[in-house]
Amino acid sequence: MQQNKNIMRSIRRGWMISLSLIIFHLSFSHAVAQVTASTSYQIGFGNTRVLDTYLSQENFSGFGLTLLANSERTRSGRHWLTRIEHQLNLSSVKDRTDKQNELQGDYTIFVGRLRHWQLQNNWTVQVGGMLTGNVGFIYNTSNSNNPAQARVALNLMPTATVSKGFSLWHHDACVCYEVNLPLVGLMFSPNYGQSYYEIFNRGNYDHNIVPTTFIATPNFRQQLSLEYCITPHTAITLGYLGDYQQAKVNSLKSHIYTHRVMIGFIKRFSIIRHHL
């Protein structure tokens, strides 16, 4: 009798251990998440055109450099991706008489969420919105009074991307077109005839934080690129980036038009995350 009890106790213990292992395995399996990610780095060269009537009524043009870094992440089985992009522009421009010089620079960060659709015949569409922050400057080397202009802006920017995959020289390739259009935002601007000394030293506010829409700041940004995979997880890129920043606020006009030939590379990888 005692021996039968010991046998039954051993069987129950075995069942409990087996059940615990099954529950642990199922919990572990549900806690595994795969994240598909990509990072890209590009450098571009090309023409820059600048106008800022706070500094000068003249149009300036010259040579510029752009650095672009992009990262995207999406979970397996999900249709939404997160994108973070950094853009740095530096330019040296001159007026038509070649007597005045300006230096221009700005940094922009883009953070957004996009809905992803995989269509037939290797077509892909992404649509969403991005929040962008821009900080920059324009410095006129000839001005003794008010030689510089600060640029600070925050925008909500609808974004769309269309891409088409195909085979090229026995490797995967892709043509991609992206467009960004700011909708609403805020920007800093001195008022007409107002100096920075009045703003920051004397504290004279004069409508310097301006709500903006696509009417006051009709900006437009587009990028066309060709991606060519040299390995299953690495691609090189060649393309064009056009960034057209415009504003008309506080009776002041400004624009910065940049045209860049872009070259770079993309690295794709997967991340397995375990949540116990």
CB 212 within 8 A of CB 189: no
Report the pLDDT value the prediction gives residue 32, as an integer from 0 to 100.
Answer: 54
Those residues whose C-beta lies under 8 Å from the C-beta of residue 16, and which sit 6 or more positions away, are none
Cα 160 from chain centroid (whole Å): 12
Of the ranges 44-53, 69-78, 124-133, which one carries the lowest mean pLDDT score? 69-78
* pLDDT at residue 101 in the model: 95
Question: What is the value of pTM for the model shown?
Answer: 0.84
pLDDT in tens, 197-246: 888 888 788 889 999 999 989 999 999 999 999 998 999 999 999 999 99
Q: Which string of DSSP letters, residue by residue, matches 108-143?
A: EEEEEEEEEEE-GGGEEEEEEEEEEEEEEEEEETT-
Q: Residue 34's pLDDT is what?
A: 72
Query: What is the rounded CA–CA span in Å between residue 168 and residue 147?
Result: 51
Instruction: Tell me if 157 sits within 8 A of 180, measured CB to CB.
Output: yes
Work out the average pLDDT over 50-64. Answer: 96
Joined tokens for residue 118: 């995989």
Given this model, what pLDDT does residue 78 score? 80
Domain definitions of the chain by residue range:
1-30, 33-274
Supply the CATH classification number for the domain 33-274.
2.40.160.20
Task: Determine what percent of the chain is predicted with pLDDT higher than 90.
Answer: 68
Among 124, 82, 89, which residue's Cα sits nearest to residue 107? 89
Question: Residue holding tokens 């195909």?
Answer: 166
pLDDT of residue 145: 76
The residue among 271 and 92 whose pLDDT is bigger is 92
For residue 115, list its beta bridge partners: 80, 127
Q: What angle do CA 217, 218, 220 make, to 5 degrees?
A: 125
Can you tell me the distance from the alpha carbon of 239 to that of 260, in angstroms, rounded to the nearest whole number? 8
Place of tokens 């006009």: 253
First to last CA, the chain: 43
**Residue 78 per-residue DSSP state:** -
DSSP single-letter state for residue 207? S
Q: Classify residue 216 as left (phi > 0), alpha (psi -120 to 50) or beta.
A: alpha
Tens digits of residue pLDDT in 101-154? 999 999 999 999 999 999 999 999 999 999 999 999 999 998 877 799 999 999
Instruction: Over range 245-263, report the average pLDDT.
Output: 96
